[in-house]
A and B are shown apart, each in its own frame.
Chain A
Amino acid sequence: MEPANSSDFAPLSETTLYILVSLTHGPLHGYAISKEVQALSKNHVILSVSTLYTTLKRLLEDGWIERVGEDPDPDDGGRPRKVYTLTERGEFILGVEKKRLRALLTLVQTRTVGEEK
């Protein structure tokens, strides 16, 4: 299901954007998402557990991500961890945001090209 107006969902918050991007290479469990976001942002964005899960809850409710079972190989014999993945809708939203950011970047580059020189 695609939104009628794609601009309804943009711009995404930094946390949301990083979480969606972290899931583009495949499903991840909560802790892995947190580590991936930290790595992607080069330690600029560190998610607290409560921020991570309140955001995941919202994304689940909006249908941008979904649970796809449990991690079959938990560390240290712990509880199996729930794994999250992007939905089609989530991919669409990410695409919209990518276009928006690209347009913004083009605009900034166009306007500042003279100044850089």
Chain B
Amino acid sequence: MTASIQGMAKIYGLLLCLFPRDFQNEFREEMGDVFTATLEEASKTGASLVVRACFFELFDLPGNLVVEHLSNLRKGKVMKTKSFEVGRSRAVLMAALGMMVGWLLTNWVLINWVYHQDFWKSSQNQQGLFYVAEAIQFTLSFILCGLMLGIAAGLGRRSFLRIGLWTAAGGILGYLVNIPVNMIALNIYLRTVYLPARADLVNLFWQLAMACIFGFFSGTGLGLAFGGWKTGLKYGLIGLAANAVGLLAGFLFFNSGLGYRMPLRIIEPSFIGYGIQGVLAGGILGWFFAKARQPQADPVMRSSNA
């Protein structure tokens, strides 16, 4: 088996963590073996067939994931991971760090590496690549946040990957939902750009809407990683609020005496603003993540103490 096939099989194995636990226990190993066998056979014909086989699997996977989870839901099963407890300060620190590093790292790459390329000077390329760069930017932040929360909770390797992958899956879904929102907002922005004050306001609401959508979906993913749909929804709302607070704090910093007043620009992300957003959004998520997993006080003990 070549290293590339081995690598792809490993990535596929990780993606299979997104299936419900019962399904994983029963079929994960088998599915990994069949995927590897498929790639090995494809590689005998040519490298292009291996890539095709991978894409075929990747395109088919989301639909089957949804079907499996819906089928579990119908049977009244929920996605559960093993019970865990996590210290609040640890969870807050780890999640804040994860999301901040995600935001700063991707912004550093975008500002210093991607946006300065000559390639961007063509407006046609700019629009298409902007969406791709943005997807990576947002998703990576949430992957890191999810993984750090998993580490904070001290879970086993598979469980913490599960939390990271679910959060990332939510982030990707959030990105897809954001595309039409972006298009509408861009349209409004272009109509108001000649009025700087109004354009700034439109831009703020645009960024806020995007942060809320991303926050909601990635939070839902995080909740689903260790609880049922109710937990998912609850964490979706927490994620939404956390990201909105983070974004507003970043915005206020730039428009206060602490930062320097800088016009908000669409393709010019700001380091400190995103850093503040990451720390706050991750921190708030971490706070609730830890709070939800705190052991409840024993009612018998409580009454005897009284």
**Most interface-central of B27, B35, B61, B68 (chain A CB within 10 A):** B27
Given contact pairs A53-B27, A57-B27, A48 touches B33 in the complex (Cβ within 8 A): no
On chain B, the residues within 8 Å of A46 by CB distance are: 56
- Interface size grouping (class) on chain A: 10 to 19
Q: Which residues of B contact A (CB under 8 A)?
A: 23, 26-27, 29-31, 33-35, 37-38, 56-57, 60-61, 64-65, 67-68, 71
In-complex Cβ contact of B60 among A34, A50, A57, A75 (8 A): A50
- A residues 27-51 near B (Cβ < 8 Å) are 30-31, 34, 46, 48-51
Counting chain A CB atoms within 10 Å of each CB, the highest count among B26, B30, B56 belongs to B30
Measured between C-beta atoms, what is the minimum distance from A107 to chain B in Å?
32
Q: How far is the CA of A5 from the CA of B71 in the complex (A)?
A: 24
Which residues from chain B contact A102 at a C-beta distance below 8 Å? none
- In the assembled complex, the CB of A42 is this many whole angstroms from the nearest CB of chain B, namely 17
The residue that B57 contacts in the complex, of A30, A31, A50, A56, with Cβ under 8 A, is: A50
| Number of inter-chain CB pairs below 8 Å | 52
Decide if A114 is an interface residue (CB 8 Å cutoff): no
| Binary contact track A73-97/B, C-beta < 8 Å → 1, others 0 | 0010011011000000000000000
Q: Are A50 and B61 in contact (CB under 8 A)?
A: yes
Query: Across the interface, which residues of A come within 8 angstroms of B65, CB to CB?
Result: 50
**Contact status A79-B57, CB under 8 Å:** no
| Contact, CB under 8 Å: B31 / A50 | yes
Contact A49 B26 (CB under 8 A): no
| Contact call B64/A50, Cβ cutoff below 8 A | yes
Contact flag A31-B34 (CB < 8 Å), given A49-B57, A57-B27: yes
A82 near B31 with CB under 8 A, answer no
Shortest Cβ distance from residue B68 to the other chain A in the assembled complex, whole angstroms: 6
Closest B residue to A67 by CB, please name it: B26
A: residues with CB less than 8 A from B are 30-31, 34, 46, 48-54, 56-58, 75, 78-79, 81-82
Known contacts A54-B23, A57-B27, then 7 further A-B pairs from the complex at CB < 8 Å, ordered by chain A residue = A48-B57, A50-B57, A52-B34, A53-B31, A57-B68, A78-B33, A81-B33
In the complex, A81→B37 CA distance in Å? 12
Please determine whether B33 and A34 come into contact, CB atoms closer than 8 angstroms.
Answer: no
Closest CB in chain A relative to B19 CB, distance in Å: 8
Q: Which of B34, B61, B68 has the most CB of A within 10 A?
A: B34
Complex contact A30–B30 (CB within 8 A): yes
Tell me the nearest residue of chain B to A56, going by C-beta.
B27
Chain B residues whose C-beta falls within 8 Å of the C-beta of A49 in the assembled complex: 31, 34-35, 38, 57
In the complex the two chains form, what is the Cα distance from A37 to B37 in whole Å? 16
Q: Nearest 10 A-B pairs (CB), nearest first?
A: A48-B60, A50-B64, A53-B27, A31-B34, A54-B64, A49-B35, A31-B37, A30-B34, A49-B34, A50-B61
A50 to B32, CA, bound (A): 10
B30 and A81 contact, CB distance less than 8 A: yes
Per the bound structure, the CA–CA distance linking A62 and B207 in Å amounts to 49
Contact at A34–B38, with CB atoms within 8 Å?
yes
In the complex, what distance in Å separates the CA atom of A53 from the CA atom of B68?
10
